[in-house]
Structure 1
Amino acid sequence: MTVGDIKTPTSKKKLKQGWDNPKHFTDLIRYFFIPEDLVYNEEPTSVIKTATKLKRVGITFEPVSDRCLLGAKFLKLPILHWLGFLVFGLKWFKACLQIPKLKVDGSTESVLRNLMGFEQCHYPKHHYVCSYVALIGDLVHTEKDVDVLVERKVIVHEQGSDKDLAGMIYVLCKNIVSNATYYATLSRRLNEHYYSHFNRTLTNLG
């Protein structure tokens, strides 16, 4: 199995989650994929734009290797003002979606499917993996979206074609029955950036 890099949890995380005794191996794998600071957000779930559309408004994608698989974060540089743009150019307005690298091989679909089914049965209020798959599903609708993430090395896959991978993600998302999300704040901020006339203007200037 090569879904992503597994990070060793700290004692703080073990204490917080109370997972000293995982139910079995599937539970243990799920445990290692969840970052300590991933918490449920009661904001309404919002669908984000695809990777292709986010790229059009200046959002870049960056693979990270120092986080658990589910540790996606949206970052914007703190000096976002007109003076910075005039002096330094568009790069100072850079917005970046950091996503732990997803390594997809022949076993990835079955691993994610098992994790999703397991937590829907045993953790009905903590759908971490389902939220992650839904996030990837929002980003990827077509092979063009896959190409964007593969080009940035956010996704490394052995699926034969980008179209095949997009199809795999679509099938996985069809199995999600939860409306809960652990990426509500991230989704809201991405949508705010996407619909901002200011950001669109800067992108056109670049």
Structure 2
Amino acid sequence: MDEPSWINTVRTKLKEVHPRTHANRPWTIFKVPDNISRNETKTYDPFVASIGPYHYHASQRGTTLAMQNHKWLCVRWFLSRHQSRQLATMLLDKCLLAMKALDVEVRNCYSEDVYNLDPHKLASIMLLDGCFIIHLLLKQVMKKAEKVIKHEEKDEEKEKKVVEDEQNVELDVEGEEEIEGPLLGMLWIWNLVLYDLLKLENQIPFFVIETLFDILRAPADESIDLPKLALQLFSGFGLSSAVTNTKSAHYLLHLFHQSLIPSDGHNQLYLAHTQMVNEWIPSATKLRLAGIKFTKKNTTSSFLDLSCKNGAIEIPELFLYDYNNTYTLFRNLIGFEQCYTGAKSYISSYTNFMNCIINGPKDVHLLEMKGILINQLRPQDGVVKLFNQLSDQIQCSSDDSYLQDLFIEVKKYTESRCHKWTNGLMERFFQ
């Protein structure tokens, strides 16, 4: 390549690369880095419900295509609740224009540039996925809401007088049962949907959900609290959650992560520690031989609320009933902590601690006997494998671990016990 051609190639490349327009919000929705994902596509890719732009292509085939059609039914249902075709048309236009107006803010939530989607396509994705999520949330209170709506139905004779042009949306006012379509009764799908909604790459901004809800809400929705409904939706996972400030959540995974963080002050990160230690301690059976006691912690708001005092480690109970789903959920929570600079490494620190104390079936049995592990994984080494894999390739430094005080306390206690035991043995041996 001659000199002018080489220079022109560099110039062309510089012209192709443009800085992204920045909004007031930092990146919050990430692609999982290769060192964390390890090509585990099933862990981070949606099973049946593609949400947001990263996996939009996956919504065009198989079960995810059927779910995509279901999303359109969700939009129709929201519009039909108002029982006016003219109003439905107006609300649809308002939603689309609102989504397009948020284009820059939406794009700047994603760490990967979604340049392959024009503003109209991205607005459509936000509309479909936002209505789909809101419908899932409202299903929990749907029966109560529908009773109120029935009292607000317009007189049929008055409805017949409404003159509509061809541009109006022709909607049928049907019951909520009609929305399910071919997915009705497939409970296994809806269970997977909940896990899809908590995957790091499978998110839309929460302000999109709130904007759509504000436009489409019916009179019966006035008392609805979307974040609280979302936490209720995920309550079946068996992870005790704390009362949290739900107003600052960026998206559903962030909201769920916030709900798991212990609420009491002594479990806050970045305390002024007097010393730094490596994030490692022996297994549970070895710690027991060194005099450490393990007890189940009952009075707690979160399964992360561990403590150690006077040689006793208190750990809240943890339900382990399905390997793949538990691994998927925890791994995405960890991925969120590893990617988002505003997140505290609670899940990463917890899994590191559990990986330390669970080194074999005897450790699992000990924690089961103490009521700390409610374990349905078989064989027992499934628990060992679970926490070993969860901790793989995860960076968790001691200076940002909320469990650092616990590690310090355990090491002080075991070293003190070992020193006393050695001195006592020497005294008896040489007397």
Compute the TM-score of the two structures, normalised by the length of structure 2. Answer: 0.38
2:370 aligned residue (152, 155, 159): 152
Q: Does 1:44 align with 2:276?
A: yes
Structure number with larger C-alpha Rg? 2
Q: Does 1:175 align with 2:393?
A: yes
1:128-185: CA deviation from partner (whole Å, max 9, x where unpaired): 1111111111111112211111111111111112211101110001031231322111
| Unaligned runs of at least 5 residues, structure 1 | 77-94
Measured at CA, do residues 116 and 98 of structure 1 come closer, stay the same or move farther in structure 2, by a change above 3 Å? same
Measured at CA, do residues 173 and 155 of structure 1 come closer, stay the same or move farther in structure 2, by a change above 3 Å? same
1:82-127: CA deviation from partner (whole Å, max 9, x where unpaired): xxxxxxxxxxxxx310011111121221111110001111136621
1 CA distance for matches of 2:243 and 2:298? 13
Measured at CA, do residues 97 and 111 of structure 1 come closer, stay the same or move farther in structure 2, by a change above 3 Å? same
Using the TM superposition, name which of 30-39 and 123-132 deviates more.
123-132
* Alignment-derived partner of residue 250 in structure 2: 23
CA RMSD of aligned residues (A): 2.4
1:136 aligned residue (354, 358, 361): 354
3-state DSSP of counterpart to 2:406: helix
The letter for the 1-side match of 2:339 is: C
Measured at CA, do residues 183 and 73 of structure 1 come closer, stay the same or move farther in structure 2, by a change above 3 Å? same
Is the CA contact (8 Å cut-off) linking 2:336 and 2:343 kept in structure 1? no
Q: Does 1:54 align with 2:54?
A: no
Measured at CA, do residues 200 and 54 of structure 1 come closer, stay the same or move farther in structure 2, by a change above 3 Å? farther
2 CA distance for matches of 1:199 and 1:62? 24
Q: Does 1:108 align with 2:350?
A: no
Measured at CA, do residues 25 and 120 of structure 1 come closer, stay the same or move farther in structure 2, by a change above 3 Å? same
Measured at CA, do residues 200 and 112 of structure 1 come closer, stay the same or move farther in structure 2, by a change above 3 Å? farther
* Alignment-derived partner of residue 34 in structure 1: 261
3-state DSSP of counterpart to 1:103: strand
* Alignment-derived partner of residue 73 in structure 1: 307
1 CA distance for matches of 2:421 and 2:241? 37
Q: Does 1:162 align with 2:392?
A: no
* Alignment-derived partner of residue 79 in structure 1: none
- Which structure: greater strand fraction? 1
Using the TM superposition, name which of 116-125 and 186-195 deviates more.
116-125
* Alignment-derived partner of residue 239 in structure 2: 4
Aligned length: 178
3-state DSSP of counterpart to 2:385: helix
- Which structure: greater helix fraction? 2
